[in-house]
């Protein structure tokens, strides 16, 4: 039965992402914007590395075998890449983690048959049901069980089926995992726990299949929060999270599981945590985000410099040559204040985009810090473009999300402040 | 949680508290031999013996059944007297309706006309309709998301159901805010469904407690909470059972054990004897019933409800069924269970066929009537679907309604104005918005030009 699942027939069916709670994720490709004609989308994004060479030259990539042998041979001649979407890259990272570390186990609801988003497909067959297994349906159980495994020095890689369902585990994560080392003065540690969860919106997920809960964990000192934007980023950041000496919540933007495709190095590598990545250099404004909105920002920047005819009247020609710097924050906690402040000190303007509501959100935290550190350099108030402060509303989602048009409007407002 | 360092006087030991609650008579004094076990009346024995069963003989908890696979009463079973021809026919019609709705919705979702559809109670028709008929229509129901049959038994119409699934401007449940199948109706005493699993279970204990405090409804109504065997793994299940039992509340727990939580089979969900084994652990009256036998479900739930309302205490019913359908439109269950197993189940143990044979044996039903009913229901379902499909979505301003009741906070007022400003500026020139605005009643004008 299991081998059938991996057959071409199985994959070819547009099976996706079943889940125990309602939603349909069949249309994970980012929508084309008819008004724009040739606007970039996830499918055509310039941030996705589509050649072997560009993939192997991903900035600040650390090859795990080099770290182990102590050699720092930056030659990439022998390295291979493979075209993967994000769920395949996550699966590849899990496979690397299980291969290199005999204590590593992968568990969660429905993971044995591959997971509702296919991120653990075939792992149970490859590594055995003792290392890749289903758990009973209990998020607090999953988190607590993972902490126990980690406390024994083993590597626990847990999956919570949707980030929206992480809240029963909030106590275990915030009061236990985050404080485990501190309260025992380092005697006991839960650092080898990583909790992966599909997160962010897809356009029809409503209240309980759309949330970006990173803001809720911002005050949990001792915890790290990581959000990847693409397959290669997901692999490198996930492996770094698994090996980081602190518990990590790894939030995977679920709309990108299938829509984001790039060349991903096959070898084991890591990307640094708490380091933002500047995707486009600029001097007039800093645009900061993470996860799915990266691609909406790319579209908005494209519309700013080259507006489609219908939008042209709203984009002053004086702004079309503006140089916007786009930064992917990647690690939300603890965040890379150095990179952001350095950028804002140069540009004098900051716009932060996230899908979660504004009140108590990550943008508010970053905005406060930046206004303190860059106060005399700012030409405009820090602007937050976020979801509205309400549950994600099913039939109104298109008007809830901070999409490219709202980002464009915010860029214009900030540049002309 | 606070660490409690309260020294208890012996008079407040657990056993006393328990007695005070559970019996109306005066607390008995401890037998002498229990002097060293202040918190239990457990008999003292000298032989070391472990146990791992809640039954007296150590075997599995039995399953209550009335009808066999051919619709005949099994030996010793008594039929519920109040099920006359009319009631039985009505129950059957409601059962038949569910897979008809389910198949249509499944197919239209596949055609892209609906964002998502969680499969209905395919295979669980007897459990739902049998229990719906056994409880009072004004008992408070807290469902998971496969209990549409209970809501429709109470009068929720096909039109209501379709409008809710489309989240259109006639949606009587969440006005387009929630996903399809997340019903709720104050009118029909059916609390709103939410996607997080098991959250409704401790809430049911609270609902039951409030019913008991209400002089109008005390002893008359109970809270009926449905959940799957997967949801029973959540901490909320345990909290709910514990609360309803410890703070005595008339909560009727109905576990639909359909064998799967998405892909995870029940044997990876628990190791013990199902959900029923947990009832006595919380001091709750418990019964296991054949969930494919509507008369067994009816009788068991009827009696459970009587215990629940009369004693004001919780009761647990575990209905054993089989999820014939996939979990949802995003699921293909043949990836984790053999197709043959599902086909065999459908053929050998179909709750609809079993009840139909019972009806036919009494000449309460005929093949002609069956054909006519199915044709009529298909037609009605399709008509309701077509009507709901073309209705516009609610006005855009409604997305800001009911975040808070009472005074609206400044942040929402500002965000609504901001959206109005953006729509006015870009509504005509930004394709994704332009197309979407047309789907809403009023096309967003009420936000763009708000009345002063």
CB count in 10 Å sphere of residue A299: 23
Query: Is A336 within 8 Å of A277 (Cβ atoms)?
Result: no
Both A212 and A321 in a single domain?
Answer: no
Both A50 and A108 in a single domain?
Answer: yes
| pLDDT score at A11 | 30
CATH number at residue A74: 3.40.50.970
B90 pLDDT more than 50: yes
Answer yes or no: is A310 within a domain. Answer: yes
* Contacting residues of A for B328, CB less than 8 Å apart: 18-20, 22-24
Q: Give the nearest partner residue to B331 out of A18, A138, A207, using CB atoms.
A: A18
Both A145 and A59 in a single domain?
Answer: yes
Residue of A nearest to B175 (CA): A395
Q: Give the nearest partner residue to A389 out of B194, B328, B415, using CB atoms.
A: B415
Which among A239, A270, A301 is the end of a domain? A270
Q: Shortest CA distance to A386 belongs to which of A204, A259, A212, A216?
A: A212
Chain A contact for B425, CB < 8 A? yes
Query: Is B197 within 8 Å of A141 (Cβ atoms)?
Result: no
Q: Beta strand A62-63 with A269-270: parallel, antiparallel or unpaired?
A: antiparallel
Integer angstrom CA distances of residue B283 from B99, B176, B241, B276, B280: 37, 41, 9, 12, 5
* Phi, psi (deg, nearest 5) at residue B324: -70, -35
| pLDDT score at B241 | 98
| Contact yes or no for B422 and A405 at CB 8 A | yes
| Contact yes or no for A24 and B270 at CB 8 A | no
Kindly report the CATH class assigned to B85-390. Answer: alpha beta
Residues B150, B164: Cα–Cα separation, whole Å: 16
Chain A contact for B422, CB < 8 A? yes
Query: Which residues of A are catalytic, by number?
Result: 139, 209
Q: For chain A, how many structural domains are there in total? A: 2
Mean pLDDT score, B112-133: 84
Query: Is B143 within 8 Å of B193 (Cβ atoms)?
Result: yes
Residues B271, B267: Cα–Cα separation, whole Å: 6
Both A256 and A335 in a single domain?
Answer: no
| pLDDT score at B106 | 87
Residue corresponding to tokens 């998971």: B144
Can you give chain A as a three-state secondary structure string? CHHHHCCHHHHHCCCCCCCCCCCCCCCCCCCCCHHHCCCCCHHHCCCCCCCHHHHHCCCCCEEHHHHHHCCCCCCCCCCCEEEEEHHHHHHHHHHHHHHHCCCCEEEECCCCCCCCCCCCCCHHHHHCCCCEEECCCCHHHHHHHHHHHHHCCCCEEEECCCHHHCHHHHHHHHHHHHHHHHHCCCCCCCCCEEEEEEECCCCCCHHHCCCCCHHHHCCCCCCEEECCCCHHHHHHHHHHHHHCCCCEEEEEECCHHHHCEEEEECCCEECCCCCCEEEECCCCEEEEECCCHHHHHHHHHHHHHCCCCCCHHHCCHHHCCCCEEEEECCEEECCCHHHHHHHHHHHCCEEEEEEEECCCCHHHHHHHHHHHHHHHHCCCCCEEEEECCCCCCHHHHHHCCCCHHHHHHHHHHHHCC
Question: A 298-327 residues with CB below 8 A of B?
Answer: 310-311, 314
The SS3 assignment for B87 reads helix
Both A99 and A233 in a single domain?
Answer: yes
Query: Is A340 within 8 Å of A288 (Cβ atoms)?
Result: yes
* Contacting residues of B for A134, CB less than 8 Å apart: 263-264, 268
* Phi, psi (deg, nearest 5) at residue A353: -120, 125
Q: Shortest CA distance to A263 belongs to which of A53, A17, A7?
A: A53
Residue of B nearest to A359 (CA): B411
pLDDT digits (tens, 9 = 90+) for B69-82: 889 999 999 999 99
Query: Is A318 within 8 Å of A349 (Cβ atoms)?
Result: no
Answer yes or no: is A3 within a domain. Answer: no
ipTM of the complex: 0.89
Query: Is A253 within 8 Å of A75 (Cβ atoms)?
Result: no
* Contacting residues of A for B107, CB less than 8 Å apart: none
pLDDT digits (tens, 9 = 90+) for B228-268: 999 999 999 999 999 999 999 999 999 999 888 888 888 89
| pLDDT score at B38 | 75
Answer yes or no: is A25 within a domain. Answer: no
* Contacting residues of A for B426, CB less than 8 Å apart: 311, 314, 405, 409
Q: Shortest CA distance to B227 belongs to which of B194, B250, B249?
A: B194
Both A84 and A170 in a single domain?
Answer: yes
Both tokens assigned to A132 = 């890749």
The SS3 assignment for B224 reads strand
CATH number at residue A406: 3.40.50.920
- What's the pLDDT band for B34 if we cut at 50, 70, 90? low
First to last CA, chain B: 49
DSSP annotation of B395 reads P
How far away is chain A from the Cα of B303, in angstroms, using its nearest Cα? 30
Helices assigned H by DSSP within B59-199: 85-110, 125-134, 148-153, 158-166
Sign of the CA dihedral with B275 first, then B280, B285, and B287 last:
positive
Q: Give the nearest partner residue to B270 out of A31, A136, A140, using CB atoms.
A: A136
Q: What b/e readout covers A42-57, taking b as 16+ CB neighbours within 10 angstroms?
A: beebebbbeebeebbe
Q: Beta strand A285-289 with A324-328: parallel, antiparallel or unpaired?
A: parallel
Quote the domain boundaries for residue A323. Answer: 277-416
Size of interface A-B (CB pairs under 8 A): 210
CB count in 10 Å sphere of residue B139: 26
Both A323 and A388 in a single domain?
Answer: yes
CB count in 10 Å sphere of residue B196: 18
Residue corresponding to tokens 């950028």: A343
Mean pLDDT score, B363-369: 97
Query: Is A229 within 8 Å of A47 (Cβ atoms)?
Result: yes
Q: Give the nearest partner residue to B430 out of A116, A164, A405, using CB atoms.
A: A405
* Contacting residues of A for B201, CB less than 8 Å apart: none
The SS3 assignment for B41 reads coil
Q: B7 burial class (0-12, 13-18, 19+ CB within 10 angstroms)?
A: exposed
CB count in 10 Å sphere of residue B85: 12
Whole-number percent of chain B with pLDDT over 90: 74
Q: Beta strand A81-85 with A261-265: parallel, antiparallel or unpaired?
A: antiparallel
Q: What b/e readout covers A330-345, taking b as 16+ CB neighbours within 10 angstroms?
A: bbbbebbeebbbebbe
The radius of gyration of chain B from alpha carbons, rounded to an integer in Å, stands at: 25
- What's the pLDDT band for B120 if we cut at 50, 70, 90? low
Query: Is B104 within 8 Å of B385 (Cβ atoms)?
Result: yes
| pLDDT score at A33 | 42
Both A168 and A95 in a single domain?
Answer: yes
B94 pLDDT more than 80: yes
Q: Give the nearest partner residue to B194 out of A4, A17, A208, using CB atoms.
A: A208
B26 pLDDT more than 50: no
| pLDDT score at A30 | 41
Both A121 and A252 in a single domain?
Answer: yes
Both A287 and A359 in a single domain?
Answer: yes
Residue corresponding to tokens 């007297």: B81
| pLDDT score at B176 | 96
Q: Shortest CA distance to A229 belongs to which of A277, A164, A158, A157?
A: A277
- What's the pLDDT band for B35 if we cut at 50, 70, 90? low
Chain B contact for A183, CB < 8 A? no
Both A132 and A242 in a single domain?
Answer: yes
| Contact yes or no for B426 and A409 at CB 8 A | yes
The radius of gyration of chain A from alpha carbons, rounded to an integer in Å, stands at: 21
Integer angstrom CA distances of residue A289 from A40, A292, A295, A297, A353: 17, 9, 10, 8, 5
Which among A270, A294, A321 is the end of a domain? A270
Residue B413 or A38, more confident: B413
Both A235 and A295 in a single domain?
Answer: no
| pLDDT score at B452 | 64
Tens of pLDDT along chain A (417 residues) come to 333 333 333 333 333 333 344 333 333 334 444 444 567 889 899 999 999 999 999 999 999 998 777 666 566 778 999 999 999 999 999 999 999 999 999 999 999 999 999 999 999 999 999 999 999 999 999 999 999 999 999 999 999 999 999 999 999 999 999 999 999 999 999 999 999 999 999 999 999 999 999 999 999 999 999 999 999 999 999 999 999 999 999 999 999 999 999 999 999 999 999 999 999 999 999 999 999 999 999 999 999 999 999 999 999 999 999 999 999 999 999 999 999 999 999 999 999 999 999 999 999 999 999 999 999 999 999 999 999 999 999 999 999 999 999 999 999 999 999
CB count in 10 Å sphere of residue A127: 18
| Contact yes or no for B411 and A1 at CB 8 A | no
Domain boundaries, chain B: 85-390, 396-447
| Contact yes or no for B434 and A390 at CB 8 A | no
* Contacting residues of A for B394, CB less than 8 Å apart: 395
Residues A151, A170: Cα–Cα separation, whole Å: 18
Both tokens assigned to B208 = 């039951």
Which among A270, A292, A326 is the end of a domain? A270
Length of chain A: 417
- What's the pLDDT band for B451 if we cut at 50, 70, 90? confident
């Amino acid at each position: 039965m299991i081998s059938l699942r991996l057959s071409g027939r199985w994959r070819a069916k547009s099976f996706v992402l079943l889940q125990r709670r309602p939603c349909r994720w069949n249309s994970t490709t980012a929508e084309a914007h008819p008004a724009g004609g040739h606007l970039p989308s996830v499918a055509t994004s310039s941030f996705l590395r589509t050649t072997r060479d560009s993939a192997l030259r991903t900035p600040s990539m650390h090859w795990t075998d080099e770290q182990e042998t102590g050699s720092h041979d930056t030659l990439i001649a022998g390295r291979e890449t493979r075209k993967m979407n994000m769920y395949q890259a996550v699966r590849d990272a899990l496979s690397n983690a299980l291969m290199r570390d005999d204590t590593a186990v992968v568990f969660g609801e429905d993971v044995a048959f591959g997971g509702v988003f296919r991120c653990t497909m075939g792992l149970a067959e490859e590594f055995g049901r003792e290392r890749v297994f289903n758990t009973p349906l209990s998020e607090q159980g999953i988190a607590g069980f993972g902490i126990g495994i980690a406390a024994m020095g083993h590597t626990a890689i847990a999956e919570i089926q949707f980030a929206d369902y992480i809240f029963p585990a909030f106590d275990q994560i915030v009061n236990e995992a985050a404080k485990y080392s501190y309260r025992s003065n380092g005697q006991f540690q839960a650092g080898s726990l990583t909790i992966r969860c599909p997160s962010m919106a897809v356009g029809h997920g409503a209240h309980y299949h759309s949330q970006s809960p990173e803001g809720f964990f911002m005050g949990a000192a001792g915890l790290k929060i990581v959000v990847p934007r693409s397959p290669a980023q997901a692999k490198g950041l996930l492996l770094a999270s698994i090996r980081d000496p602190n518990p990590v919540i790894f939030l995977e933007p679920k709309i990108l599981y299938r829509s984001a495709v790039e060349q991903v190095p096959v070898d084991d590598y890591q990307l640094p945590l708490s380091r933002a990545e500047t995707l486009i250099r600029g001097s007039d404004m800093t645009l900061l985000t993470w996860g799915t909105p990266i691609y909406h920002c790319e579209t908005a920047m494209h519309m700013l410099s080259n507006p489609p005819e219908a939008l042209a009247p709203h984009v002053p020609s004086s702004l079309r040559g503006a140089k916007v710097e786009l930064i992917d924050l990647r690690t939300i906690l603890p965040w890379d204040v150095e990179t952001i402040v350095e950028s804002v000190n140069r540009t004098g303007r900051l716009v932060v985009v996230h899908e979660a509501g504004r009140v108590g959100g990550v943008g508010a935290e970053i905005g406060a810090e930046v206004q303190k550190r860059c106060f005399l350099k700012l030409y405009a108030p820090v602007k937050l473009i976020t979801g509205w402060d309400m549950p994600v509303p099913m039939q109104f989602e298109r008007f809830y999300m901070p999409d490219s048009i709202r980002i464009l409007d915010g860029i214009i407002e900030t540049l002309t402040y | 949680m606070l660490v409690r360092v309260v020294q208890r006087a012996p008079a407040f030991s657990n056993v006393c508290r328990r007695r005070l609650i559970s019996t109306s008579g005066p607390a008995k004094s401890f037998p002498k031999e229990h002097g060293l076990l202040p918190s239990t009346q457990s008999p003292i024995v000298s032989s070391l013996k472990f146990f791992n069963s809640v039954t007296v003989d150590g075997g599995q908890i039995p399953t209550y059944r009335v009808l066999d696979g051919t619709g005949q009463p099994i030996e010793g079973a008594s039929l519920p007297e109040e099920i006359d021809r009319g009631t039985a026919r009505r129950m059957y019609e409601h059962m038949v309706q569910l897979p008809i709705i389910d198949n249509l919705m499944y197919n239209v979702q596949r055609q892209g006309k609906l964002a998502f559809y969680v499969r209905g109670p395919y295979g669980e028709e007897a459990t739902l309709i049998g229990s719906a008929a056994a409880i009072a229509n004004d008992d408070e129901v807290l469902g998971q998301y496969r209990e549409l049959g209970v809501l429709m038994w109470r009068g929720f119409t096909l039109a209501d159901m379709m409008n809710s699934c489309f989240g259109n401007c006639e949606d009587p449940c969440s006005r387009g805010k929630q996903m399809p199948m997340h019903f709720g109706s104050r009118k029909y005493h059916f609390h709103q469904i939410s996607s997080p699993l098991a959250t409704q279970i401790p809430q049911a204990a609270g609902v039951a407690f409030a019913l008991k405090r209400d002089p109008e409804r005390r002893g008359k109504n109970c809270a009926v909470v449905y959940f799957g065997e997967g949801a029973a793994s959540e901490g909320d299940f345990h909290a709910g059972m514990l609360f309803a039992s410890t703070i005595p509340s008339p909560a009727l727990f109905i576990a639909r054990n359909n064998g799967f939580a998405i892909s995870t089979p029940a044997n990876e969900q628990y190791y013990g004897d199902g959900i029923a084994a947990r009832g006595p652990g919380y001091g709750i009256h418990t019964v296991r019933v054949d969930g494919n036998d509507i008369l067994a479900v009816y009788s068991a739930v009827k009696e459970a409800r009587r215990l629940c309302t009369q004693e004001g205490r919780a009761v647990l019913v575990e209905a054993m069924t089989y999820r014939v359908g996939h979990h949802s439109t995003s699921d293909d269950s043949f990836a984790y269970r053999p197709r043959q197993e599902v086909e065999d189940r459908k053929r050998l143990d179909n709750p609809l066929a079993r009840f139909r044979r019972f009806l036919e044996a009494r000449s309460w039903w005929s093949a002609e009537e069956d054909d006519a009913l199915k044709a009529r229901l298909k037609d009605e379902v399709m008509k309701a679907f077509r009507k709901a499909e073309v209705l516009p979505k609610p006005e855009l301003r409604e997305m800001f309604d009911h975040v808070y009741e009472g005074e609206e906070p400044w942040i929402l007022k500002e965000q609504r104005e901001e959206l109005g400003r953006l729509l006015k500026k870009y509504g005509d020139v930004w394709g994704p918005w332009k197309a979407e605005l047309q789907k809403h009643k009023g096309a967003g004008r009420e936000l763009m030009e708000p009345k002063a």
